[in-house]
Structure 1
Amino acid sequence: MSATATPSALPARPPLYTQLDRSIIWFPLMLVLFEFSVYIGNDMIQPAMLTITQEYGADSAWVPTSMTLYLLGGAVLAWCVGPMSDRWGRRPVMLGGALLYALANFAILLAPTIEAFMAMRFVQGIALCFISAVGYVSIQEAFEEKTAIKVMALMANVAMVAPLLAPLLGAGILSHPLGSWQLIFVLIGAIALISLLGLTRAMPETAVRLEKADTLGQIGRSYLAVLRNRPFLLLALATPLSGLPLLTWIALSPLMLIRDMSLPTWAYGLAQVPVFAGLILGNITLARVTDRVVVGRTIQWAMPLMAVGAALLLACSLAGLGCPLQISLLLGGMAVICFAEGLTFAVLYRLSLMASDAPKGVVAAALSMGVAVLYALGIEGGKLTYVAFGLPGFAVFSALGLLAFAFCVKGVLREAIAARSLDKASAAPMH
């Protein structure tokens, strides 16, 4: 499962903790609070963007640019944030990222022009790469394998609350007589500061630091070693493929349900409940069974469920547009697929991170950048397919993506399970 170690590969450090208890629980709690603040930094401000452009006297075309720059900030600097944490340690880099994000939420209040406002949105978005390229790696290094997967699965449930609640919270603040878009940023900045204080107190140092800083050439060779690692490439491709139906659904469901099926807004909101409930139940199931099964087994369980969900989507595309049967099949298919995704994501991240012997900051950064690019391309492809072919196009697009996921992960997963089963057997006490 691993490639030849790069010149700057680090010796493996045993996990600091074998289980999640009171002595360490504040670390993942504060990390997920920071993650929550970063996610609502995107979703919570969207209802206010028209008001913001009006106050700056700018064209409404700037509205989607805010989200684009936020996501771009999270993608463009991951390549250096990961190696920085290998050199200086996860803890100082993570704390620096949390401080930068908190300050950026207050600094944006002073932006004199829409261009300055958008520049600060880019700076805020940089926090996304600290989560994926530093925070998640710290979880993997702090805990032994099964505990790390369990912690990641539980953290994902908290993070899922953000896209559900943040737009409603933002709209609620704006509708209050004393509310304003400035208050939204103050609230987000305050949450970020709380997480910063908590991480300062609770975050351990998990990295074995490099003795001297890598040159750009050495960092480049580390990335090249990662990209030449076939298991890593397959797992890094499988990770976004497993989640693509959900992200495409988030992007397209307003068009599907409100515009094309003529559902009222409240019905659109209710339709999200079974979809996200499936994802949350999948994460909870993963957390409950991880101690009892070989790592990777839940992905094998998930693949037949993905096939069932894809079949329901294909069936719904044949029903009458907007009829109760079609809506039930659509939501049922998405719920089953999301349940399967909940069984896979945390395990895929662990397997991807451990597929290479390169410094883990580099591996995590490569994974983060690859997933971001593939998500963007996939969502755009799903949008174009739906515009051209409607619901049948969405169903076929989702089914083909899940088929590609199974193709990518099948061989690598078999090897990973076999290796871990062998390790478990060799570690068993002799009688």
Structure 2
Amino acid sequence: MRPLSRDSSALVFLLGCATALGPLSTDMYLPSLPVLITLFGTDAAAVQLTLSVFLAGFAVMQLVYGPVSDRYGRRPVLLAGVVIYTLASIGCAFATSIEWLILWRFGQALGACAGVVLGRAIARDLYEGPAAAHALSTMAMVLGLTPAVAPILGGYLHSWFGWQANFYAMATAGALFGLCVLVFLPESNQRRNPLATRIGPMLHNFALLARHAGFRGYVACVAFSYGGMFAFISGSSFTLRTVFGIDETTFGYCFLLIVVGYIAGGFIGVRLTRRLGVDRMLFLGAGLCALGGTSMVLLQLWIWGTGGGHWFSLIGPMMLFTMGVGLTMPQGQAGALQPFPQMAGAAASLMGFIQMTLGAIGGIVVGHALNDTALPLSIAIAAMGLATVLSYLLIVRRQQSTGG
């Protein structure tokens, strides 16, 4: 069988599956998190660390996969990452303590990261300008299907077979995806750089990227919007269970509503980006993030003052926030990568490193701040939403107005 052509929708779908390894790994086992506290005799902060350490591993490998793929090609590096991911997923299923689970989760991240970095880099190799934003928006919609299905499937797998079944499912998905890459994915890097993995040139490339005002602004929008979404991912299972009293399977359907917002944002991006441009769509997405976060805090303050409350007071505003994320991330990624065709891997790596580092730090803070209300989680999400829109207004728009 021949590799897919660049004009094939199936190729964009395959790239979306590459980026989906990350959310599959974070979202499928979310319904099991409260149970792991009792199973391993630990606390919420330690169990939440299985999420934050995953992002930490992701952040570290962002700086590795991009330059390595700039030198050796996207396809072989992606295949190596998928093998690591599949083996580590099996290791997670055999973990006998929270410490071993944390360790194997770190290994899982080392492999899954390849899909996110190289999916974006391959899209940049193949597409330009609005076409790149369109492809990334399409990938975002594919990506959005994973968190829609994963928590629901994870809840049922947990109920039927136990928490380990989720990690066996991840290993199976990794193996099947690796087979598809081996058979269908063409090599997209036609400008291999033999100096890309040398420390000096790597640091020079990262410094060049960091000095670019547009890159900083777009990456800040991506990182803060993702930070708000990851704050919800890391704290929602505990908050919805303890504050609103829902069970594992109901949590999956609550998460589905969140993903509906994300998919809606991605769909709007696909439909309107070519007509309105990257920056207008980015501003719309950032505004929705800020609006969703602030409305969530106001609702939780009202509930805290009056007593009672319903889980939709958290889920409704978060749907608005994730709609903003579905708009913000593809546009921000396209804007950040566009000026750097000869080091797309390095640019994707640095962007992902900043994004995942911020998410990991935010997740740890949220894990330690959780209490018997939804206020800590809501405040964290609102702060990230406001930071997203300020990043656009103070950096991206200012840089555009000065012609920098």
Q: TM-score, normalised by structure 1?
A: 0.76
> Secondary structure of 2:201's partner?
helix
**Residue 258 of structure 2 aligns to which amino acid in structure 1?**
V
Q: Give deviations 1:127-166, integer Å, cap 9, x for gaps.
A: 2321232221111221232232223223223333333433
Determine the C-alpha separation between the residues in 1 that align with 2:98 and 2:309.
47
Task: Identify which of 374, 391, 400 aligns with 1:408.
Answer: 391
1:200 aligns with 2:182: yes
1:123 aligns with 2:107: yes
For the structure 1 residues 355 and 95, does the alpha-carbon distance in structure 2 shift closer, same or farther, using more than 3 Å as the test? same
Determine the C-alpha separation between the residues in 1 that align with 2:143 and 2:137.
10
Deviation at 1:90, TM superposition (A): 1.4
Deviation at 1:346, TM superposition (A): 0.2
Task: Identify which of 276, 280, 289 aligns with 2:272.
Answer: 289
**Residue 85 of structure 2 aligns to which amino acid in structure 1?**
Y
Task: Identify which of 58, 64, 82 aligns with 1:74.
Answer: 58
1:248 aligns with 2:231: yes
Match of residue 360 from structure 2: 376
Moved more, 152-161 or 218-227: 152-161
Correspondences of 1:103-142 after superposition (within 5 Å): 103-106=87-90, 119-142=103-126
**Residue 67 of structure 2 aligns to which amino acid in structure 1?**
P
Match of residue 5 from structure 1: none
Deviation at 1:353, TM superposition (A): 2.0
1:335 aligns with 2:319: yes
Match of residue 298 from structure 2: 315
Deviation at 1:43, TM superposition (A): 3.9
Determine the C-alpha separation between the residues in 1 that align with 2:247 and 2:155.
18
Determine the C-alpha separation between the residues in 2 that align with 1:113 and 1:310.
36
Moved more, 100-109 or 187-196: 100-109
Match of residue 13 from structure 1: none
Task: Identify which of 352, 366, 372 aligns with 2:336.
Answer: 352
Q: In 1, are the aligned partners of 2:286 and 2:328 still within 8 Å (CA)?
A: no
Moved more, 394-403 or 42-51: 42-51
Match of residue 214 from structure 2: 231
> Secondary structure of 1:370's partner?
helix
For the structure 1 residues 60 and 164, does the alpha-carbon distance in structure 2 shift closer, same or farther, using more than 3 Å as the test? farther
Determine the C-alpha separation between the residues in 2 that align with 1:264 and 1:105.
25
Correspondences of 1:272-287 after superposition (within 5 Å): 272-287=255-270
Q: In 2, are the aligned partners of 1:313 and 1:333 still within 8 Å (CA)?
A: yes
Determine the C-alpha separation between the residues in 1 that align with 2:400 and 2:268.
19
**Which structure is higher in helix share?**
2
Q: Give deviations 1:358-392, integer Å, cap 9, x for gaps.
A: 7222111111111111112233445566649x555
Determine the C-alpha separation between the residues in 1 that align with 2:286 and 2:7.
37
Structure exhibiting the larger radius of gyration computed from Cα positions: 1
> Secondary structure of 1:87's partner?
helix
Determine the C-alpha separation between the residues in 2 that align with 1:111 and 1:256.
25
Superposed CA RMSD in Å reads: 4.0
**Residue 102 of structure 1 aligns to which amino acid in structure 2?**
T
Q: Give deviations 1:108-127, integer Å, cap 9, x for gaps.
A: 67889987766444322212
Q: In 2, are the aligned partners of 1:26 and 1:198 still within 8 Å (CA)?
A: no
Q: In 2, are the aligned partners of 1:132 and 1:365 still within 8 Å (CA)?
A: no
Q: Give deviations 1:221-269, integer Å, cap 9, x for gaps.
A: 2222222333322322221222333332333334544423456666655
Correspondences of 1:255-274 after superposition (within 5 Å): 255-262=238-245, 269-274=252-257
Correspondences of 1:83-98 after superposition (within 5 Å): 83-98=67-82
Q: TM-score, normalised by structure 2?
A: 0.80
For the structure 1 residues 141 and 188, does the alpha-carbon distance in structure 2 shift closer, same or farther, using more than 3 Å as the test? same
Q: In 2, are the aligned partners of 1:91 and 1:203 still within 8 Å (CA)?
A: yes
**Residue 260 of structure 1 aligns to which amino acid in structure 2?**
V
Determine the C-alpha separation between the residues in 2 that align with 1:336 and 1:241.
15
For the structure 1 residues 383 and 135, does the alpha-carbon distance in structure 2 shift closer, same or farther, using more than 3 Å as the test? same
Q: In 1, are the aligned partners of 2:32 and 2:248 still within 8 Å (CA)?
A: no
> Secondary structure of 1:125's partner?
helix
For the structure 1 residues 98 and 330, does the alpha-carbon distance in structure 2 shift closer, same or farther, using more than 3 Å as the test? closer
Deviation at 1:172, TM superposition (A): 3.2
Determine the C-alpha separation between the residues in 1 that align with 2:148 and 2:53.
21
For the structure 1 residues 248 and 123, does the alpha-carbon distance in structure 2 shift closer, same or farther, using more than 3 Å as the test? closer
Task: Identify which of 24, 38, 49 aligns with 1:40.
Answer: 24
Unaligned runs of 5+ residues in structure 2 are none
Deviation at 1:84, TM superposition (A): 0.5
Determine the C-alpha separation between the residues in 2 that align with 1:110 and 1:316.
42
Match of residue 16 from structure 1: none
Determine the C-alpha separation between the residues in 2 that align with 1:118 and 1:266.
24
